[in-house]
């Protein structure tokens, strides 16, 4: 989608016209773009604090002005409505200003994560037709300018590297704060609220990551509906702990939810209590969001901290199953209501309610946030199971995608003919509507909330000349809930864990996808129809 056009129906399948109309009529879709929404917020809350990043603070009026200035700079570079860019910034004010500047122009950010490397970014840039890659200079001791140069050399469509910080004198790299020749005058081709506003990354089940188109209308509704359920208002202070590019942190309710009601977003550079607890105390944070591996670390630290955490009202936990034994420990340790969050970049978001009885808060993963969310729980033949029984969760609704971006074949498998998304999650639904996540039918590993598509890693492993066959599975892990194990059949010499890591690093595969464990085998077990028998491999690990 380069040039002025929005992606067409084949690129990004959308809701049928009558369905879209019903969502507008019901008021779910407000018909405002994010760029326009920020303008309204700046008028309503001009002098209130919108964003805090370490010692940098911005009121709504300042944010709005900074967004205009940056939008003009990005226009000067030639960016325009319908262009895509890979946005790869860590938590900080630069992310927020850049994101809204892109929204104001109708330029679509691909939400890359700071942990992604050349293998992921080149794929995302090529798939999305990105014209720019926006990066920090150095973050967590990694030089993103080098990464950007590698990507740009491989994907010629990436014309610009925009660096938040020092551009470092490389060809084609410009500083975010110093863009040449800003575009002036009104933006002639302003975006519409039904346009794709952003492309999120799917956790994935296939060889290459998929992109999820989210429109202004659907994504703004997602954030606002979540904000209402969490009781957010202009006095709320949200602390972004996980990467803000992640859908959970961005809009569940996250950054966008707290801004939508005039509250304050505080962006933490690290999830570690040594950074976050002082921020909670100083900024009087009222709500934050964690994943299961962080939870015991925060609980432990909260029990002995001298920092005042008494402002905290809600702690959301999601992205992987929170252990039933840990759930009851959260409220006494952190002095805040636990909210379980079962969401997906594809859309559907489930939250426990703040006044749910303990039983529901501690053992379920919440219920759909919208009255218009449609839920089906089906067996392997696609028939609805009796109420309360386990089956695969299918869903459609006002903020759930109708198709991945530029992936027609995958879409044919991932959706029913009538537009339900097959989540790959196995759930039970309670009479209250709450869902219990009991398993998964997709070939994915959930490593403490970070999703690994087994086939993607297998593809990278098979690129090693010494590896003849590979299968990646998940196995229970105390810290991460699940860790990844690669079973390898080697040709001559054994290829061990260190060699595997070296190989994946050389390919530019993000660290979290590197197998935690490598098992060398003579052959992979097969099912009667000749597919790799991953259940047999998983059983081998558990019984070992």
Residues making contact with ligand OOB (CB under 6 A) = 203, 247-248, 252, 318-321, 340-345, 349, 365, 423, 425, 437, 440, 446, 449, 451
Shortest Å, Cβ 423 to ligand OOB: 5
Say if CB 232 and CB 427 are below 8 A apart.
Answer: no
Q: What count of other Cβ atoms lies within 10 Å of the Cβ of residue 409?
A: 8
Least CB distance from residue 42 to ligand OOB, whole Å? 27
Nearest approach, Cβ of residue 436 and ligand OOB (Å)? 9
345 vs 486, which CB is nearer to ligand OOB?
345
The DSSP secondary structure of 35-61, one letter per residue, reads HHHHHHHHHHSTTSEEEEETTEEEEHH
Pair type for strands 337-344 and 347-351: antiparallel
In the complex, least distance from residue 200 CB atom to ligand OOB, rounded to whole angstroms:
7
**Nearer CB in complex with ligand OOB: 219/487:** 219
- In the bound complex, what is the minimum distance in angstroms from residue 137's beta carbon to ligand OOB? 27
Q: Write down the least CB distance from residue 444 to ligand OOB, Å.
A: 7
Q: Tell me the closest approach of the beta carbon of residue 349 to ligand OOB, in angstroms.
A: 6
DSSP structural state of residue 386: P
Cα–Cα distance measured from residue 12 to residue 358, given in angstroms and rounded to the nearest whole number: 41
Q: Under DSSP, is residue 527 helix (H, G, I), strand (E, B) or coil? A: coil
Residue whose C-alpha is closest to residue 82's, from 66, 53, 106: 106
Element holding 105 (H helix, E strand): helix 93-105
Question: Residue 144 or residue 342: which is nearer to ligand OOB going by CB?
Answer: 342
Q: Which is nearer to ligand OOB, 85 or 345 (CB)?
A: 345
Q: Give the alpha-carbon dihedral of 81, 84, 86, 89, to 10 degrees.
A: 20
Give burial (CB, 10 Å; 0-12/13-18/19+) of 516: middle
Angle at CA of residue 32, ends 26 and 38, nearest 5° = 135
- 194/295 with CB nearer ligand OOB: 295
Name the residue whose CB lies closest to ligand OOB: 343
CB 335, CB 310: distance < 8 Å: yes
Q: Least distance to ligand OOB from the beta carbon of 292, Å?
A: 8
Could you tell me the two tokens for 498?
């260190």
Of 65 and 228, which has the nearer Cβ to ligand OOB? 228
CB of 365 to ligand OOB, least distance (A): 4
Q: Which is nearer to ligand OOB, 101 or 338 (CB)?
A: 338
Question: In the bound complex, what is the minimum distance in angstroms from residue 80's beta carbon to ligand OOB?
Answer: 29
For ligand OOB, give the closer residue by CB, 336 or 495.
336
User: From the CB of 480, what's the least distance to ligand OOB, in Å?
Assistant: 13
Given the complex with ligand OOB, which of 80 and 88 has the nearer CB atom? 88
Query: In three state form, how does the secondary structure of 417-477 look?
Result: CCCCEEEEEEEEECCCCCEEEEEECCCEEEECCEEEEHHHHHHHHHCCCCEEEEEEEEEEE
Angle at the Cα of 351 (from 346 to 355), degrees rounded to 5? 170
In the complex with ligand OOB, which residue's Cβ is closer, 35 or 293?
293
> Residue 473 pairs with which residues in a beta bridge?
485
CB atoms within 10 A of CB 511: 12
Q: Which is nearer to ligand OOB, 80 or 319 (CB)?
A: 319
Task: State which residue, 321 or 402, has the beta carbon closest to ligand OOB.
Answer: 321
Minimum Å distance from CB 291 to ligand OOB? 8
Nearer to ligand OOB, 167 or 318 (CB): 318
Q: What are phi and psi of 479, to 5 degrees?
A: -80, -45
Nearest distance, CB of residue 179 and ligand OOB, angstroms? 32
Distance CA 227, CA 341 (A): 13
391 bridge partner residues: 427
Buried b (16+ CB within 10 A) or exposed e, 374-396: bbbbbeeeeeeeeeeebbbbbbb
In contact, 311 and 284? CB cutoff 8 Å: yes
Where are the strands (E) in 310-385, listed by range? 314-318, 337-344, 347-351, 367-368, 374-378
295 preceded by cis ω (within 30°)? no
């Amino acid at each position: 989608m380069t040039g002025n056009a929005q992606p067409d129906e084949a690129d990004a399948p959308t809701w049928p016209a009558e369905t879209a109309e019903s969502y507008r009529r019901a008021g779910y879709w407000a018909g405002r773009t994010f760029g326009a929404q920020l303008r309204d917020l700046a008028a309503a809350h001009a002098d209130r604090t919108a964003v805090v990043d370490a010692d940098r603070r911005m009121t709504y009026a300042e944010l709005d002005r900074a967004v205009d200035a940056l939008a003009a700079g990005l226009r000067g570079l030639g960016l325009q409505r319908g262009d895509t860019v890979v946005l790869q910034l860590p938590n900080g004010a630069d992310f927020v200003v850049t994101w809204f500047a892109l929204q104001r122009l109708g330029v679509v950010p691909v939400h890359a994560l700071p942990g992604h490397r050349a293998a992921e970014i080149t794929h995302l840039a090529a798939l999305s037709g990105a014209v720019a890659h926006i990066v920090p200079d150095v973050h967590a001791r990694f030089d993103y300018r080098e990464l950007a140069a590698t990507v740009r050399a491989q994907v010629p469509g990436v014309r610009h590297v925009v660096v938040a910080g020092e551009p470092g004198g490389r060809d084609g790299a410009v500083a975010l704060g110093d863009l040449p020749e800003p575009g002036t005058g009104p933006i002639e081709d302003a975006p519409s609220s039904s346009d794709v506003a952003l492309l999120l990354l799917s956790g994935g089940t296939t060889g290459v990551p998929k992109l999820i188109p989210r429109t202004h209308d659907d994504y703004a509704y997602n954030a606002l509906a979540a904000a209402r359920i969490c009781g957010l208002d202009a006095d709320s202070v949200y602390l972004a702990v996980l990467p803000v590019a992640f859908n959970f942190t961005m809009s569940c309710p996250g950054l966008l939810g707290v801004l939508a009601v005039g509250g304050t977003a505080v962006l933490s550079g690290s999830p570690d209590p040594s950074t976050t607890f002082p921020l909670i105390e100083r900024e009087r944070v009222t709500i934050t969001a964690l994943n299961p591996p962080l939870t015991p670390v925060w609980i432990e630290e909260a029990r002995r901290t001298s920092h005042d955490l008494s402002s905290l009202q809600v702690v959301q936990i999601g992205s992987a199953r929170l252990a039933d034994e840990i759930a009851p420990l959260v409220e006494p340790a952190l002095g805040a209501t636990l909210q379980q969050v079962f969401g997906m970049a594809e859309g559907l978001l489930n939250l426990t309610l703040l006044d749910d009885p303990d039983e529901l808060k501690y053992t379920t993963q919440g219920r759909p946030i919208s009255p218009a969310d449609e839920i089906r729980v089906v067996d392997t033949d696609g028939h609805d199971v009796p109420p309360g029984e386990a089956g695969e969760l299918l869903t459609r609704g006002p903020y759930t995608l109708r198709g991945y971006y530029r992936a027609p074949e995958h879409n044919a498998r991932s959706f029913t003919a009538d537009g339900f998304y097959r989540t790959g999650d196995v759930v039970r639904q309670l009479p209250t509507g709450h869902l219990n996540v009991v398993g998964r039918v997709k070939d994915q590993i959930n490593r403490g909330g970070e999703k690994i598509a087994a086939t993607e890693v297998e593809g990278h492993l098979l690129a090693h000349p010494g590896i003849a066959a590979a299968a990646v599975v998940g196995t229970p892990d105390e810290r991460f809930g699940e860790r990844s194990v690669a079973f390898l059949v080697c040709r001559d010499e054994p290829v061990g864990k260190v060699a595997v890591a070296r190989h994946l690093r050389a390919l530019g595969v993000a660290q979290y996808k590197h197998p935690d464990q490598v098992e060398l085998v003579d052959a992979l077990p097969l099912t009667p129809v000749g597919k790799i028998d991953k259940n047999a491999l998983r059983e081998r690990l558990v019984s070992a």
